[in-house]
Amino acid sequence: MNYKELETATYDMLDLKLTELRKEIPIISFKNLIDYFENIILKNNKIYDLNDIAFYVMNIKINKVCEYLNFVEISTASNSDIKNDLESILEG
């Protein structure tokens, strides 16, 4: 399987997973799911073939995606009280 076919198959699997995730998280977008896949799954795991991709996509958990989206929202908010609280806790 060449790279283009692998990429197309991955997008199709993520699109199916997005349908499942939208039942619990209606505001999730395809970009959110792609970001989660790239920043969490691909960063921590090696992908060798389509079987690996299918395994990781089908094992995406709703609560993990929620945690990731909350983290991204908090970390990108410039003047968030939660962000300030977390920074003060981390600083000591």
Mean pLDDT of the chain: 87
Tokens of 77: 């908010």
79 pLDDT more than 70: no
Amino acid identity, position 75: S
pLDDT of amino acid 13: 96
The pLDDT tens digits for 47-73 are: 999 999 999 999 999 999 998 888 888
Residue spans of the domains in the chain: they are 3-91
Query: What's the N-to-C CA distance of the chain in angstroms?
Result: 51
pLDDT of amino acid 31: 96
Tell me the whole-structure pTM to 2 decimals: 0.78
